[in-house]
Amino acid sequence: MEMRKTISEGEASEKNCYECIDAAYRYLVEGKREPFEGNKRVSAQTSIPVDPSRIVLFGRSLGTGPTVDLAARLLSRTGESRCIAGVVLQSPLESAGRCVLGEFASCALYPLDLFRSYEKIEKLAPVPVFIMHGVDDKVVPCASGRALYTSLTNERKRRQALKRKNTTKNDIEGKPSVEYSPKWIAGVGHNDMPEFECMNDVAKFLNFLEQRRR
């Protein structure tokens, strides 16, 4: 499931973006939808439900905001990773405010800041997350992707340290790793990410997820 700018109708807002990705996720896991013609429901259509543990969320640029938000809410609700398999974040932003104004200015304007992924990224610790970002990105600085990766890594280390107090070393080491190396692509910016290379890296990530299931 990919979250990005589309030709969808309706007012653009943070709330509506969250509702949009929620609807997409529900459609996949519930296997049903209710199509409308104008404001009138035409019929109810069904499809085969998708196993939530096989769903990979994919967000790019601004779309990483709703993607991180959905993943964080799902993982907070279930307390485990069976609600999604993993997450791909391409050119992710810490928040809209930090992307445009920087960290200190965004703090001063906190109530107006949108898509605050830096507050939610730690909740994604239970699942593998693949972050890729162009080093020369002038729209969403690469520092944003690096900061999110650092927060995620630190949270995983913290959780692992807590587990070691109540779990044997062999139990911890025997579990499939959720760590996945990010990719910082030199020489490219925001809109010229090498498509073939990125999709090849995503394919490798999907293979990694499949190996974890076995």
Q: 114-172: per-residue pLDDT in tens?
A: 899 999 999 999 999 999 999 999 999 999 999 999 999 999 999 888 877 776 555 54
| Residue 26 within any structural domain of the chain | yes
If asked whether residues 102 and 140 sit together in one domain, one would say yes
If asked whether residues 125 and 189 sit together in one domain, one would say yes
Helices (H), 83-123: 96-101, 103-108
If asked whether residues 57 and 131 sit together in one domain, one would say yes
- Domains: count for the chain: 2
**Residue 68: predicted pLDDT:** 97
Name which of 26-35, 111-120, 184-193 the model is least confident about: 26-35
Is the distance from CB of 114 to CB of 95 less than 8 angstroms? yes
Residue 57 has pLDDT above 90, yes or no: yes
**Residue 5: predicted pLDDT:** 57
Residue 79 has pLDDT above 60, yes or no: no
| Pairing relationship of beta strands 129-134 and 40-41 according to DSSP bridges | unpaired
If asked whether residues 90 and 20 sit together in one domain, one would say no
Res. 44 pLDDT band, cuts 50 70 90: low
**At a CB cut-off of 8 Å and minimum separation 6, what does 58 contact?**
1, 2, 3, 67, 87, 88, 90, 202
If asked whether residues 183 and 91 sit together in one domain, one would say yes
- The model carries a pTM of 0.83
| Residue 199 within any structural domain of the chain | yes
Nearest Cα to 85, choosing from 197, 178, 199, 198? 178
| Residue 1 within any structural domain of the chain | no
Domain of 111, in residue numbers: 51-213
If asked whether residues 45 and 71 sit together in one domain, one would say no
144 Ramachandran zone, left/alpha/beta (phi>0; psi -120 to 50): alpha
| Residue 6 within any structural domain of the chain | no
Computed over every residue of the chain, the mean pLDDT equals 84
Position 59: which residue type? Answer: G
**Residue 188: predicted pLDDT:** 97
Name which of 23-32, 130-139, 188-197, 205-214 the model is least confident about: 23-32
If asked whether residues 137 and 41 sit together in one domain, one would say no
Helices (H), 12-114: 14-30, 64-78, 96-101, 103-108
**Residue 201: predicted pLDDT:** 98
Q: Report how far residue 136's alpha carbon sits from residue 197's, in angstroms, rounded to the nearest whole number.
A: 17
| Residue 5 within any structural domain of the chain | no
**Residue 98: predicted pLDDT:** 85
If asked whether residues 59 and 86 sit together in one domain, one would say yes
Stated as kind and residue range, the H or E segment containing 79 is none
Q: Which of 49, 64, 79 is the last residue of a domain?
A: 49
Name which of 17-21, 78-82, 97-101 the model is least confident about: 78-82
- As a whole number, mean pLDDT of residues 59-72 equals 95
Most confident of 15-19, 33-37, 128-132: 128-132
Provide the token pair at 49: 């439900």
Residue corresponding to tokens 């944003």: 144
Q: Which CATH number is 82's domain given? A: 3.40.50.1820
Stated as kind and residue range, the H or E segment containing 48 is none
**Residue 165: predicted pLDDT:** 75
| Pairing relationship of beta strands 36-37 and 40-41 according to DSSP bridges | antiparallel
**At a CB cut-off of 8 Å and minimum separation 6, what does 36 contact?**
42
Res. 105 pLDDT band, cuts 50 70 90: low
Residue corresponding to tokens 């970002």: 133
If asked whether residues 142 and 121 sit together in one domain, one would say yes
| Residue 84 within any structural domain of the chain | yes
Nearest Cα to 182, choosing from 112, 115, 92, 102? 92
If asked whether residues 41 and 61 sit together in one domain, one would say no
If asked whether residues 42 and 130 sit together in one domain, one would say no
If asked whether residues 81 and 55 sit together in one domain, one would say yes
Res. 178 pLDDT band, cuts 50 70 90: confident
| Residue 104 within any structural domain of the chain | yes
